Structure 1
Amino acid sequence: MPPTELPTVHVPTADLPVGTPTPLPVTAATCLEDRAHLERTATLTLAAGPQRLRLGPVSPLAVDHSLRTELVADDGTARVLDARLTRSWTPREVGPPGAADSALRHRLHELETALRTGAGRRDRLSARLALLDQLTTDLLREIAEGAGLGEAEPVRWSRELDRVAGEQDTHGEQLRALDAELAELAEQERAARQALDAAEAPPQELTAYLDLTVLAEHPTTATLTVRHLTPCALWRPAYRAVLTEGGLRLESDAVIWQATGEDWSKVRLTLSTARSALAAEPPRLTEDRLTLRELSGAERRTVEVELREEEITTLGPDTTRSTTVSDELPGVDDGGEVRVLTAPAPATLPGDGRPHRIPLGGFSAPATAELTAAPELSALVSEVVAFDNRAGHPLLAGPVELVRDSGFVGRGELRFTAAGAVAELAFPGADDYRLVREVEETRGSSGLPGLGQRTVLTRTVRVHVSRLSAPGERGERSITLRERIPVSEVSAVEVRLRPQVCDPAPQEVDAEGVVRWELPLPPGGRRTVTLGYEVVASAKVAGLSA
């Protein structure tokens, strides 16, 4: 049996009346790196026939082309004919605040009025003093001309000068008092404005509504779901690490900012690292021609090398994708794969643009701690705490509040850590250690010119470690000291340790060139660690900097 096609209904939507707006609150929100995907739900009572409904108000920042509606009627006979966002701008009324305004807004209006009145008084006093200065100038000119002509009137001149001087003193004192009063009023006005900005949001002048045209064959009840994107909403991960003798407790939070013009009340909150703004079109193909040529004699005789810094990154056993983060798109470091987190409880987020922390969960794990120092980077000794990621999902990179039994001790940073991998946090360490690092370098050569001559760069690093303990302290404490040596990637350059110089001998030298010592120090103890190595390069190597 062929399917029955629904007849096309042409309804003049402009002639349909619009009733009282129906609320359309936000019931679910998915926050991305720089925007949010909102879901709104409302229950509608529909009459038979075509009708036009107005719902809202909604955020005026809603993206029109992302608007999607879904109408589910109880009898299945209703459908949406048209849906669009309409915006209107209502400027704020000019004049003093009304009875519905807060006392703080009334106070701010009084201060602004007093400032305007005081500014007018100041202008009048300044004009009066300018006239008195002009009068004094004219009076002195009259005295000079009269004395020159022999028409002296000392009594009248003295009386006039005294009167003008008295008025200048009076008005000058009034002007100084008024300046002090205006300065005080300006300070009060600034404080009141700051308090108003912190306590109240500015009145919204731009409003938006969803105009919906619906056709129902019979009177029914329907559930409307509206989805759209909106800017001015974003999130970032944050953590709180509490270190105790029994281990470490890591609590995950989401810090969310939203200034969409409306509050989100008890919404289902989802957090995603998807980059919806990232272009998804394939790259443009261009011609890439490869050619072969013979090396010149100078190129055959020279090997260009350079020194570069590389960061050592370890994410764990279940990392299967590249962890390189592009500098062109700063944001949440998700390890190159989209991660989705869900808040365990409904969240309420005011649209004030301020950061709000939403708890996501946490876990406890055993932790190991070691005092470690890298004198090349810092002269401080830190306590590195290592623990397993038992969250069941990767930990995104973010700031961490560090807490001990004594309370808050500082802030740190947690790097992206895969599920089950080992994470590390640097807590403030002991402050009774002092490190002094010295480096000596010499450059020489070995071999005969033209017969295997080689350049030898020798470096000697000395680190003086002191433990300044309080009186009466007992027991040794060990710190892990790390230095590094270069790692060569070409056969023409060789890096060698000098065992006869290293004192004490290092416990470990890994493949990345990191040299490690374990140094036990008693109270008041001192140690000097010496590391010696040499970089040997053949004569044809160029670019090896000192």
Structure 2
Amino acid sequence: MSLPVVPLPVTAVTCLEDRSQLERTAHLELAAGVQRLRLGPLTPLAVDHSLRTELAGAGARVLDARLTRSWTPRPVGPAPDDSPLRERLHAARAALRAAVADQQRTTARLGLLDQLAEELLREVAEGTGLDQPEPRRWAAELDRISTEQDELAERARALESHRHELALEEAELDRAVESAEPPEPELRCYLDLTVRAEQPGPAVLTVGHLTACALWRPAYRAVLGGGAVRLATDAVVWQATGEDWTGVRLTLSTARSMLAAEPPVLQEDRLTLRELSSAERRTVEVELREEEIRTLGPAGPEQGEELPGLDDGGEVRVLHAPAPATVPGDGRAHRVPLGWFDAAAAVELVAAPELSPLVSEVVSVRNTASVPLLAGPVELVRGSGYVGRGELRYTAPGAVAELAFPGSDEYRLLRETTEEEGTAGLPGTGRRTVRTRTVQVHVTRLCAPGTTGEQTVVLRERIPVSEVSAVEVRLHEQSCDPRPDAVDAEGIVRWELPLAPNTRRTVTLVYEVSASAKVAGL
């Protein structure tokens, strides 16, 4: 005897970094005594060992709870309850199979005729050699075979064209059915409960469990205009659990529930000391290494297509959707609004000619929200509309966030480098190799007629930073034109260049790298 199935909808969802915690609620009418209930269907991806149930009302308690799954294969052919669209798909597939079979028969018949023509030509050769010619019969047979070959070849071409049209129609109907009618799941999951009620009456069942194939990432939309930025925060949610989440209380968490809680196994790591050889004492091995500095504008990192992890600053963050959310279980990305704020914007034109010939507009805004901004992609919007895509790093409440908008196309950058190598010092008394590099950057501002007013462009160049005493890097400030406004510990040299309309300025950077004679690998 099959039990009636009681619906068990999803009412609350907590999305984690790589999975989700679902909460389901059902209102039951219980009879007194022990009884069995079947609820669902649930997603087959539910994690059995995470199942938790709570029953309130009618003095009831849960004696046993388990998830049961059943597999029902999909019907191969038409079914009585098929929709008209699916019936058209089945008809198109049947017509395509018939066209393919007809084309195969025609191709096979053409092959037989080719074989027959070869046999007849062989008979003509043998009969002529034996002085037993039959020209009339041979001519009639060849004419009949040639006529039938021409007819079948024309039919084969027509069948190929018809088969191609049917294949296109079948593919179009298949896409339409897939988008309009999600396939019925082959694997179904139900919750089987055994409960005991002291008295008949209503009860509320709450079920919680983990599920895979459901996760989230933060995303933002920055609208720049009127000296201010409106920064809207969204949660991009994916879920392919096989069921829709309709009107659920959505919570977003950066917790990593499956992170290993056990300490790693310690491996033996032996350290040994040895005397340096005479060659090693005479040589210092160095190498040039590129370090990525996380800055915005042209010097920023390239955007990748892979899904990044959540950057929460090392502390678990929990966000709540302000309104009930609906997320279909189609595996696609769905945006859920979380909130927004307006803040004053400080705009700065930034150029990094070593990485890009473009000038970016770096906008600084203060996070006035009560929650931190997690790292994520940002859609950049101006008054004219969407202008590009950027990246927002983790920003605590009250901290300043920077966004790189595409700059104006009125700037042109041209970068030229020259290098000279020489030596300094006497042999045997500290002789050093000196490399002097000169970098020239030409910055041009081309404006439309009638444009007035200066604009300041922040130009950034870099010099190497040495980590060993045998290699020295020195900036020739007296040879730089103009002198740099600032040089930080990471070797970033900065100028602030005021540019009037239709003017050009040249910035010269000169630095030297000197290494002792025992340095190798530079």
Q: TM-score, normalised by structure 1?
A: 0.88
Counterpart of 2:200 in structure 1 is 219
Give 1:150 shift: 4.6
2:435 maps to 1:451: no
Residues 144/297 of structure 1: CA separation in 2 closer, same or farther (3 Å cut): closer
Residue from 85, 88, 94 that aligns with 2:70: 88
Residue from 153, 167, 186 that aligns with 1:205: 186
Counterpart of 1:143 in structure 2 is 124
Give 1:224 shift: 1.0
Residues 118/290 of structure 1: CA separation in 2 closer, same or farther (3 Å cut): closer
Deviates more, 1:497-506 or 1:206-215: 497-506
What are the Cα deviations for residues 403-462 of structure 1, in whole angstroms up to 9, with x where unaligned?
110111111111122221111111111122222212222232222223233332221111
Contact 1:252–1:360 (CA under 8 A) maintained in structure 2: yes
Give 1:495 shift: 2.2
Counterpart of 2:346 in structure 1 is 368
Counterpart of 2:148 in structure 1 is 167
* Whole-angstrom distance in 1 between the partners of 2:131 and 2:268: 104
Percent of aligned positions that are identical = 70
Deviates more, 1:116-125 or 1:189-198: 189-198
Give 1:497 shift: 1.4
Residue from 55, 70, 73 that aligns with 2:54: 70
Give 1:356 shift: 0.7
Give 1:489 shift: 3.7
Gaps of 5+ in 2: 297-306
Give 1:173 shift: 0.3
Residue from 9, 12, 16 that aligns with 1:28: 12
Residue from 34, 45, 54 that aligns with 2:29: 45
Give 1:160 shift: 2.8
Q: Secondary structure at the match of 1:29?
A: strand
Q: Secondary structure at the match of 1:452?
A: coil
Residues 295/168 of structure 1: CA separation in 2 closer, same or farther (3 Å cut): closer
Counterpart of 2:488 in structure 1 is 510
Give 1:62 shift: 0.5
* Whole-angstrom distance in 2 between the partners of 1:149 and 1:294: 100
Contact 2:234–2:337 (CA under 8 A) maintained in structure 1: yes
Residues 146/447 of structure 1: CA separation in 2 closer, same or farther (3 Å cut): closer
Q: Secondary structure at the match of 2:252?
A: strand
Structure 2 letter corresponding to 1:425:
L
Residues 371/147 of structure 1: CA separation in 2 closer, same or farther (3 Å cut): same
2:115 maps to 1:134: yes
Residue from 307, 318, 328 that aligns with 2:288: 307
The count of residues paired between Structure 1 and Structure 2 equals 512
Counterpart of 1:271 in structure 2 is 252
Counterpart of 2:302 in structure 1 is none
Residue from 490, 495, 505 that aligns with 2:473: 495
Q: Secondary structure at the match of 1:427?
A: strand
Structure 2 letter corresponding to 1:70:
E
Q: Secondary structure at the match of 1:438?
A: strand
Residue from 435, 442, 449 that aligns with 2:413: 435
2:80 maps to 1:102: no
Structure 1 residues 162-311: aligned runs within 5 Å: 162-287=143-268, 302-311=283-292
Structure 1 residues 468-483: aligned runs within 5 Å: 468-483=446-461
Gaps of 5+ in 1: 1-16, 316-328
Counterpart of 1:463 in structure 2 is 441
Give 1:473 shift: 3.6
Give 1:136 shift: 2.1
What are the Cα deviations for residues 497-524 of structure 1, in whole angstroms up to 9, with x where unaligned?
1123211111222232211112223333
Give 1:125 shift: 1.0
* Whole-angstrom distance in 2 between the partners of 1:425 and 1:539: 46
2:387 maps to 1:409: yes
* Whole-angstrom distance in 2 between the partners of 1:528 and 1:78: 83
* Whole-angstrom distance in 1 between the partners of 2:111 and 2:430: 93
Computed over aligned residues only, the root mean square deviation of the Cα atoms, in angstroms, reads 2.3
Q: TM-score, normalised by structure 2?
A: 0.92
Contact 1:18–1:54 (CA under 8 A) maintained in structure 2: no
Contact 2:233–2:339 (CA under 8 A) maintained in structure 1: yes
2:367 maps to 1:389: yes
Contact 2:435–2:512 (CA under 8 A) maintained in structure 1: yes
